[in-house]
Structure 1
Amino acid sequence: MKELPVFKIGNYYGYDQKALSADHWMNVGGCGAITACDVSIYLALHCGRTDLYPYDLQHLNAVDYIRFTQTMKPFLRPRPSGIDTLDLWIDGYSEYLDSVGEHDVYMQGLSGACSLAEMERIVKKEIDSNMPVPYLNLRHHNPALNDYVWHWFWLAGYDDSQDEFMVKLITYGTYRWLSLKELWDTGYERKGGIILLHLPWDR
């Protein structure tokens, strides 16, 4: 079992997409950009990549975070079809990294079409390496997961001490523990997947 530190803004873990009421498109479709904002702040706070967040890391607040979402928006803009592939997110976030002069973050995607055992292995490896795990979920057969349909979020922990491999999911300003098997088993042929983030010391 391992959990990554998750920053808070007010009472939110990360920030709540639904609170971006002044920007309709970010409110309804900004999950890819918001996940990138959260990942950037995590890397700035815990991996020394302070160039990734242009505001005060010691005093995180909603005003600065909302400004940051507007900085990220052109790179991972909401669109009618959503940021519906891993490559779209990698390309957009890579452009943001280039814009701030960050060239040491390496990314690759792992399709959700992989086996459950492989997904569990890689999620565990990433979190054990202190890396957050951006996750794209497309359609899902389970109505209980409707809030996560066509949605980006990130994983900040795992628990392999029980029968089910559980993951800590961060989105909408809160967290939730879910079975990775339940997330992975969407019931559809086309799946999303996860982004693997690497810094020079863990390649």
Structure 2
Amino acid sequence: MVELSYFEIDGAIGGNQDWFSNVVMHIGGCAAAAACDSCIYFAKHFGNTGWYPFDVEHLTQEDYVRFSQMMKPYIKPRVGGVKNPEWFVEGFYRYLKDHFYPGRPVLRMEVVRGEASQDQAWEALKSRIDQGLPVPFLLLRHHNREVFEDYIWHWFMVIGYEESKEDLLVQTATYGEKKTFSFAELWNTGFEERGGMVLYDLDFENPDF
């Protein structure tokens, strides 16, 4: 398994939406949580140039919840959820613009829609993990509700992959846990309405000033 060195908070893998005491965020704050996780990961691995407003060397649930409330106005829960990857990108860009930090690498984002072919999506995902970048993933409906029960209509992070003759596997992080799924099954949902992925690129040569 090619796996990113993902952060932990009080023993949890990444953040956990269940920590949110705000009712709206507890139910529908998964997109904001994905953005918060991304910022913390960038701060841990590429220097905390304004990515995370608290102590990145001493992560706590309390600070994570406070951070999620800062992200909420930009990637806010809504009726039907943040069901369009472009909404995530637009909100995350606005957050970074409003929380400018000189010298921070420029984050660029590209959407791979759920309608893309499995091969195209797999190669795109692998390329980002190989560059040391996590991948926010949106799953809407899925025909296999038993396997993906906690992932339906949900944003989560992909933090690893494994390629073999038998299958293509991805490792995910959400609700403070890691899980492994078949990528073919994850991508081919059986429904016309699909989510997708957000691909990150960090530009270190032309940082913000």
Q: Which residue of 2 aligns with 1:129?
A: 131
Q: Which residue of 2 aligns with 1:17?
A: 17
Checking the alignment, whether the CA contact within 8 Å between 2:19 and 2:61 is kept in structure 1 is: no
Q: Which residue of 2 aligns with 1:50?
A: 49
* Aligned mates of 2:168, 2:17 — CA distance in 1: 27
TM-score normalised by L of structure 2: 0.92
Most deviating of 124-133 and 93-102: 93-102
> Sequence identity of aligned pairs in percent?
39
Q: Which residue of 2 aligns with 1:65?
A: 64
Letter in 1 for 2:194: K
* Aligned mates of 1:128, 1:96 — CA distance in 2: 26
Most deviating of 95-104 and 108-117: 95-104
CA RMSD of aligned residues (A): 1.6
SS of residue matched to 1:119: helix
Runs of 4+ residues deviating >3 angstroms: none
* Aligned mates of 2:48, 2:111 — CA distance in 1: 21
Deviation at 1:112, TM superposition (A): 1.3
Most deviating of 66-75 and 95-104: 95-104
Q: 1:68 to 1:115 in 2, by over 3 A?
A: same
Deviation at 1:200, TM superposition (A): 1.5
Deviation at 1:48, TM superposition (A): 2.3
**1:91 matches 2:90:** yes
Letter in 2 for 1:92: G
CA deviations 1:57-80 (Å, max 9, x no partner) are 110111111110111111111111
Q: Gaps (5+ residues) in structure 2?
A: none
Aligned pairs for 1:1-203 (under 5 A) are 1-20=1-20, 22-101=21-100, 104-143=106-145, 144-200=147-203
* Aligned mates of 2:97, 2:118 — CA distance in 1: 33
Letter in 2 for 1:14: G
Q: Gaps (5+ residues) in structure 1?
A: none
The structure whose residues are more often helix, as a share, is 1
Q: 1:17 to 1:162 in 2, by over 3 A?
A: farther
Equivalenced residue count is 202
* Aligned mates of 2:40, 2:165 — CA distance in 1: 31
Checking the alignment, whether the CA contact within 8 Å between 2:138 and 2:197 is kept in structure 1 is: yes
